[in-house]
Amino acid sequence: MTALAPIRLGTRRSALAQAQSGHVADALAAIAGRPVELVPIVSEGDTNRASLSEIGGTGIFANRLREALIAGECDILVHSLKDLPTAVPAELVIAATPQRADARDVVITRGGTPLHELRHGSTVGTGSPRRIAQVRRRAPHAEVVDIRGNVDSRLERVSSGELDAVILAAAGLTRLGSETTLRREELGLTEWPTAPGQGALAVETTADAPAELLDALSRLDDLDTRIAVTVERAVLAGLEAGCQAPMGAHAVVTGDSIRLRAVVYEPGGGRRIGLDVSEPLNRGYIRRNGSGNGADAADGADPVRTARELGDSAAHRLLEQGAADLLP
């Protein structure tokens, strides 16, 4: 790449993907002093309209993009981290996790009735197995409708009266700047943990990317976000469950400690197995630019490694309590 050559950012074609990629592109251009151009790529998840609960969600939004990156069709990718498989190909590296947005889910209704107070037989739309199980626990009297589609189409199904409610990610609504007269109910992360990595983005590039690109990307990285999502994704990996598994995990870094809340749900919503744990973090570190592994501490302690170990330990504890019986 020449000094003035644009950085090619591969992204899905959806409005949300374009919006969040645009935010990263603007930030990266300011850091690198080079233009960043979006390269739209069509993923399997964009063309296969079957239910996510039927086809499984592992990699359907990411695999084609990763193929394009490895083939040299683009220089970097921006993913919604919750859609990204936990296994990273050897040729690639997650070079940055920018500061996380709101990780909560929200219920969208016409009149503002809380989810648990919706009348008997109300229709609630979502295509996520986790959200389906959570709705069945929170509002067992409601009817869950398995849906796909972009944010605007889901909002329209509520506005038109076709559905009484839909469950959406708060971060997506914010990034799109969606304006609506519909009412929203924020769902607390303690009782309603969301998908591992929800609200966070992952900027991925090749492991042999130019040093100047890796350096620029490292300046987009937020360490607290990387630590938190590392814990959550380690739980998912330890359970050997895909991105669409009926489980939620949310971690938050506060000072020198990290707290994790993880729950595995029975698909029908009847049972759940959960835990809530905290772990101290060593904050002394030296950043290793472009490593994709976050930070190395000067005294040998690595907060990202600690996070990974906490997530792996949590997964083992969930399995010991019978979580494998609830996972597909």
Residue 296 has pLDDT above 50, yes or no: no
Q: Is residue 96 part of a domain?
A: yes
The one catalytic residue in 8, 66, 243, 302 is 243
Which of 138, 159, 186 delimits the end of a domain?
186
> CA of 319: how far to CAs of 134, 246, 263, in Å?
20, 14, 11
Options 34, 74, 83, 296, the catalytic residue = 83
Q: How confident is the model at residue 293 (pLDDT cuts 50, 70, 90)?
A: very low
Residue that is last in its domain, among 140, 165, 186: 186
User: Are residues 84 and 230 part of one domain?
Assistant: yes
Q: Which one of the listed residues 154, 157, 175, 226 is annotated catalytic?
A: 154
| Residue of 64, 100, 131, 138 marked catalytic | 131
Model confidence over 220-269: pLDDT tens digits?
999 999 999 999 999 999 998 776 789 999 999 999 899 999 999 998 87
Q: What is the pLDDT of residues 134-176, one digit of tens each?
A: 999 999 999 999 998 899 999 999 999 999 999 999 999 999 8
| Res 289 pLDDT > 90 | no
Question: For the segment 48-97, what is each residue's pLDDT rounded down to a tens digit?
Answer: 455 555 545 556 679 999 999 999 999 999 999 999 999 999 999 999 99
In this structure, the answer to whether residues 135 and 258 fall within a common structural domain is no
Q: Please report the pLDDT score of residue 98 as a whole number.
A: 98
243 given a catalytic annotation? yes
Is 74 catalytic? The answer is: no
Task: Report the CATH number at residue 118.
Answer: 3.40.190.10
* Residue numbers of the domain that contains 121: 105-186
Active site annotation includes 154: yes
Answer yes or no: 288 catalytic: no
Amino acid letter, residue 125: G
pLDDT score at 51: 52
Query: Could you tell me how far CA 207 lies from the centroid of its own chain?
Result: 22
Is residue 34 within 8 A of residue 4, CB to CB? The reply is: yes
Q: What is the pLDDT of residue 302?
A: 84
